[in-house]
Chains A and B, each alone.
Chain A
Amino acid sequence: MARIANPAGLGAHRQRLLAEREAGGKKTVAVCCGTGCNANGAEKVVAAFREELGKQGLADSYEIKPTGCHGFCERGTLVLLHPEKRLYQRVKPEAVAEIVEKTLQGGEALEQHFYDNPATGEKHEFEHDIPFYKHQERLILGQNGEIDPTDIDDYIAGGGYGALAKAFEMGPEKVLGEVKAANLRGRGGGGFPAGRKWETCRDVPSEKRYVICNADEGDPGAFMDRSILEGNPHVVIEGMIIGAYTIGSDEGYVYVRNEYPLAVRRLSIALEQARERGFLGEDILGSGFSFDIRVNRGGGAFVCGESTALMASIEGKVGEPRAKHIHTVVAGLHGRPTNLNNVETWANVPLIVERGADWYTSKGTKGSPGTKIFSLVGKVNNTGLVEAEMGMTLRQIIFDIGGGIPGGREFKAVQTGGPSGGCLPASKLDLAVDFDTLWEEGSMMGSGGMIVMDDRTCMVDVAKYFLGFLKFESCGKCTTCREGLRRLHELVQDITEGRGTEDTIGLIEELAETVDAASLCALGTTATNPIKSTLAHFRDEYLAHIRDRRCPGGVCKALIRYEITEACTGCLVCAKRCPEKCITGEKKQLHTIDQSRCIKCGICMDVCKFDSVRVV
């Protein structure tokens, strides 16, 4: 792979790539090979396409491109036919022969692969017509369906590294001005203005500065950062080079968790190719600026996403946060000024440089410009990765993009911001989603996790879940965080198991206040958000557990029992599936559950076709 020596060389190389493609005249079939689709067999779909194209003599007319995540994980494996952007969903390897024959060869659209809207029954043929995509603004994620993450030339052909060339032309001062004017805010959770962080770091006198990409994504249910790294690693690398150039750093790190093997692999390939092409190393694009990036694999501790713990971990020390009376931009990695941003923040940088702050601030809200990627998961029809303009309401994200709640059930709450975020009830659905609004409501943007819950969710159980997660993921340094979270978890467990009193709530609130106020890092000071927000919005549910020994969501095993109602047809299915064999009844006769032996697994309710099992 030849080195590109200067911006003119980059332009010429890009023109050459485009000319070659035009001459080749191949159409592209993009197969989503994100982690979700891979689990659904995407790699077999790719192999089937390649084999079938060969068999049917179309190998010269089509290019099969394994890409990163397209976002619509619910409907994988996704196959996107360029250039018309026809989307075939839930494609199995067995269906590939027909797709090649009828669609690629014969031009016929195969309706069975169209998206069918469960709400309206409508079918949609093209990606841009599907509500899931139609309401999104996919500035970052959009490229995931276009490029092969293992081929740097694919990124260059689409204009990649053009922003870097432009940045060299602008000079560091102007780039910084643009990032500041764009009011790019940290996508990792804090929402701190990136431009100000860069400026402070640059202005600290030092011989050496570092830039770091935080890819230690650890929130349960969040997978946007891994999807960017897996689908478009170069956009992150380009952002980091621009940042390093602006700040005056010659060494960068990507701290990525080892549980993301595909992200690590694709990032490593991308870094290698960027070095070969001369975007990393000495005298990048003839600018005289030198910079390189190393990959540091984390061991999967949630707390290592905290900047000071992350830096301690890179230094080979125990991943514990330290007090930030002196900020890491002043004294971070190895005591040097260090600028750390998260994956998604870095991915926004090339866009801002390329299109300018005026364009960028036209997206989103005044206080939070641009877009944010959310992992939309839980009880929602369209599970997946969603990129929405800041300022969209929760309702638009969950119902217009997410397609609402499955099975016609009722929306109960949405948890935003992961374990440090809060649960917002239906009355908050019309809130505009941006950094400040969520914060004011006792939740947070966090890294963009969005867990949707329906009426069969117990909010006390949700609080217990997050406390249980955090008591193991706290680094354990502060008494208030380590012991405080352990005790909060115990107290909430008392409530879910029917031992709670109203004093328990009082003690929880008192302890939560100390954990908030007295913990060292943001893990501790935000860890009580799930419990505080559920107590604020769903206090009745806590009281039902305490006063009536009842779990309204029908979740807490100690407080519920399953009963078979008159609607039972006596089909025997529940009795056969019951693991404890504690359901008795004759065929076509009402069945009954032996409560003394029931383990409350809920299988009877799940398998009953007549809705005759209920929780009381």
Chain B
Amino acid sequence: MTAKFKVNGVEVEAEAGSSLLDAVRQNGFEVPSLCHHEAVTPYGACRLCLVEVTRGGRKKITTSCNYEVQGGIEVLTDSEQIRRHRAMVLELLLAEAPRSVSLRSFAAAHGVRNSRFARPDAPALLDEREGCILCGLCVRACEEMGRDAISLLQRGVSKEVGPPPGGEADSCIGCGSCHAVCPTGHIAMRDTAKAREIWGRMFDFVLCEGCGRPVITTAHRDHAIERGGLPADYYLRCAECKKSGLAARFAKVGS
């Protein structure tokens, strides 16, 4: 069902119950966020997508990613209050991951270049977490891939991302989704011509029958074929070679 509501005074429409963040973006409004991805469940961790929502005469500040679109609400994405809180959140994030290039440029794009909380002399609280802002995207991506190889561990300032306590990322298939969604480039992944290293584990690649380049890790192939009900030969060739093969067949048919 379509819901009509207002964003910054403009009447817009979106599917009722969908993510407010997705809805305002689809309608052309800019709202920053670091922990949101359309493909995974909203989580509300980074607090950047704050908006003011008025519903039934009551105004409140809320994250928009995990707020469901409802008819009749009025949303402000860029009020003075929201800008102030957002800038403060960015300062907190910059102090947390000062060396992340992507985060620095993201913050600068939103007008924040320095953090009053930065303590260059102080040792990092958790050296291994340096650069991670605990947005949880990697964990949710892994969970929704159906693997649960990594999790959020501990709590408070000791919170971190990693394999289960005392164990290894046993159920990791080396798909690299966690690496791909990480907004600060914190998750290390190293690919060679034949294998991929991630979470302290090595994964062999399936090499393309056509060009010999890596297609997918063998573990990822097995998982995808089983979960997606794909034919066993689905990953024998890389996407490029499949495409050119198909093009060649079309050319033959056409001639």
Max chain A C-beta neighbours (<10 A), residue from B44, B81, B125: B44
* Neighbouring B residues of A511 by C-beta, 8 Å: 88
Instruction: Known A-B contacts: A472-B155, A477-B43, A482-B157. Give 15 more (CB < 8 A).
Output: A319-B155, A322-B44, A323-B44, A323-B63, A325-B66, A325-B67, A476-B156, A476-B157, A479-B89, A485-B156, A485-B157, A517-B85, A518-B50, A518-B61, A518-B89
- In the assembly, what is the distance between CA of A520 and CA of B60, in Å? 12
* Neighbouring B residues of A475 by C-beta, 8 Å: 155-156, 159
- Report whether B84 and A486 are in contact in the complex, using a CB–CB cutoff of 8 Å: no
Closest 7 CB pairs of A and B: A476-B159, A483-B92, A514-B88, A472-B156, A474-B156, A487-B117, A323-B66
**Which of A's residues lie within 8 Å of B, judged by CB?**
301, 303, 318-320, 322-323, 325, 470-480, 482-487, 490, 507, 510-511, 513-514, 517-520
User: Which one of B43, B68, B156 contacts A471 once the chains associate, using CB atoms below 8 Å?
Assistant: B156
Chain B residue, CB-CB nearest to A478: B47
- Report whether A301 and B155 are in contact in the complex, using a CB–CB cutoff of 8 Å: yes
Is B215's CB within 8 Å of the partner chain A? no
- In the assembly, what is the distance between CA of A484 and CA of B157, in Å? 10
Is B154's CB within 8 Å of the partner chain A? yes
User: A301-B155, A486-B157, A510-B88 known; A478 and B61 CB under 8 Å?
Assistant: no
- In the assembly, what is the distance between CA of A132 and CA of B154, in Å? 42
- Report whether A473 and B44 are in contact in the complex, using a CB–CB cutoff of 8 Å: no
Within residues 34 to 80 of chain B, which ones have a CB less than 8 A from any CB in chain A?
A: 43-48, 50, 61-63, 66-68
Max chain B C-beta neighbours (<10 A), residue from A318, A479, A480, A518: A479
Is B100's CB within 8 Å of the partner chain A? no
* Neighbouring B residues of A479 by C-beta, 8 Å: 45-48, 89, 92-93, 96, 133-134
Max chain B C-beta neighbours (<10 A), residue from A303, A325, A471, A472: A325
B146-184 near A? 1/0 per residue, CB < 8 Å: 000001101111110000000000000000000000000
Is B116's CB within 8 Å of the partner chain A? yes
User: A472-B158, A476-B134, A479-B92 known; A318 and B61 CB under 8 Å?
Assistant: no
Nearest Cβ distance between residue B92 and chain A, in whole angstroms?
4
- Report whether B154 and A476 are in contact in the complex, using a CB–CB cutoff of 8 Å: yes
Nearest Cβ distance between residue A525 and chain B, in whole angstroms?
10
User: Which one of B67, B85, B95, B158 contacts A487 once the chains associate, using CB atoms below 8 Å?
Assistant: B95
What are 11 A-to-B residue pairs whose CB atoms are below 8 Å?
A323-B62, A472-B158, A473-B155, A477-B43, A478-B47, A479-B46, A513-B85, A517-B61, A517-B81, A520-B47, A520-B63
Is B119's CB within 8 Å of the partner chain A? yes
Is B136's CB within 8 Å of the partner chain A? yes
Interface size range of chain B in the complex: 35 or more
* Neighbouring B residues of A303 by C-beta, 8 Å: 155
- Report whether B155 and A514 are in contact in the complex, using a CB–CB cutoff of 8 Å: no
Chain A contact surface mostly = helix
User: A479-B46, A482-B156 known; A325 and B68 CB under 8 Å?
Assistant: yes
* Neighbouring A residues of B157 by C-beta, 8 Å: 471-472, 474, 476, 482, 485-486
- In the assembly, what is the distance between CA of A487 and CA of B96, in Å? 10
- In the assembly, what is the distance between CA of A303 and CA of B159, in Å? 13
* Neighbouring B residues of A322 by C-beta, 8 Å: 44, 66
- In the assembly, what is the distance between CA of A325 and CA of B67, in Å? 7
- Report whether B156 and A473 are in contact in the complex, using a CB–CB cutoff of 8 Å: yes
- Report whether A490 and B85 are in contact in the complex, using a CB–CB cutoff of 8 Å: no
User: Which one of A318, A474, A490 contacts B151 once the chains associate, using CB atoms below 8 Å?
Assistant: A318
Nearest Cβ distance between residue A143 and chain B, in whole angstroms?
36
* Neighbouring B residues of A518 by C-beta, 8 Å: 47, 50, 61, 85, 88-89
* Neighbouring B residues of A301 by C-beta, 8 Å: 155
- Report whether A514 and B45 are in contact in the complex, using a CB–CB cutoff of 8 Å: no
* Neighbouring A residues of B133 by C-beta, 8 Å: 479
- In the assembly, what is the distance between CA of A320 and CA of B43, in Å? 11
* Neighbouring B residues of A478 by C-beta, 8 Å: 44-45, 47
- Report whether A480 and B89 are in contact in the complex, using a CB–CB cutoff of 8 Å: yes
- Report whether B134 and A482 are in contact in the complex, using a CB–CB cutoff of 8 Å: yes
User: Which one of B62, B85, B95, B116 contacts A483 once the chains associate, using CB atoms below 8 Å?
Assistant: B95
Nearest Cβ distance between residue A184 and chain B, in whole angstroms?
25
User: A472-B158, A487-B95, A511-B88 known; A318 and B63 CB under 8 Å?
Assistant: no
- Report whether B44 and A507 are in contact in the complex, using a CB–CB cutoff of 8 Å: no
* Neighbouring A residues of B50 by C-beta, 8 Å: 518
Nearest Cβ distance between residue A331 and chain B, in whole angstroms?
12
Max chain A C-beta neighbours (<10 A), residue from B46, B156, B159: B156
* Neighbouring A residues of B155 by C-beta, 8 Å: 301, 303, 319, 472-476
